[in-house]
């Protein structure tokens, strides 16, 4: 849990993306974080903030409110199995905190 907390604040979701295996059903939404992105995050995720705008690998992207993002995710993928590269240590604990 220590990695999830920085300066007394829980890390925030910046993207929710999902794909139904074998189908063309997908979702890819970006969320403007409520705390600054760390200096090393762009090297890992390709995401950066310049003022109020989010960029992914240098291209601007539209952002959606976290509540709308989570609602869209749950509505579109109501029966799912989640996988992630860093799920156990980071992604899943942050997602559980946001959804609870």
Residues 6 or more apart from 56 whose CB is under 8 A from it? 30, 45, 46, 47
DSSP letter at 37 equals P
Q: How many CB atoms lie within 10 A of CB 67?
A: 10
DSSP annotation of 34 reads S
| Average pLDDT rounded to a whole number, residues 55-79 | 87
Average pLDDT over residues 73-78: 81
Note the pLDDT of residue 4: 53
Residue 6: the pLDDT is 54
Q: Assign 1 a pLDDT band (cuts: 50, 70, 90).
A: very low
């Amino acid at each position: 849990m220590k990695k999830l907390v920085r300066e007394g604040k829980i890390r925030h979701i910046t993207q929710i993306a999902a794909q139904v295996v074998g189908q063309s059903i997908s979702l890819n939404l970006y969320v403007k974080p409520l705390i600054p992105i760390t200096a090393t995050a762009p090297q890992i995720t390709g995401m950066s903030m310049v003022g109020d705008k989010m960029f992914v690998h240098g291209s601007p992207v539209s952002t959606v409110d976290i509540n709308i993002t989570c609602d869209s995710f749950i509505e579109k993928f109501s029966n799912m199995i989640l996988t992630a590269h860093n799920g156990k240590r980071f992604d899943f604990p942050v997602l559980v905190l946001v959804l609870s």
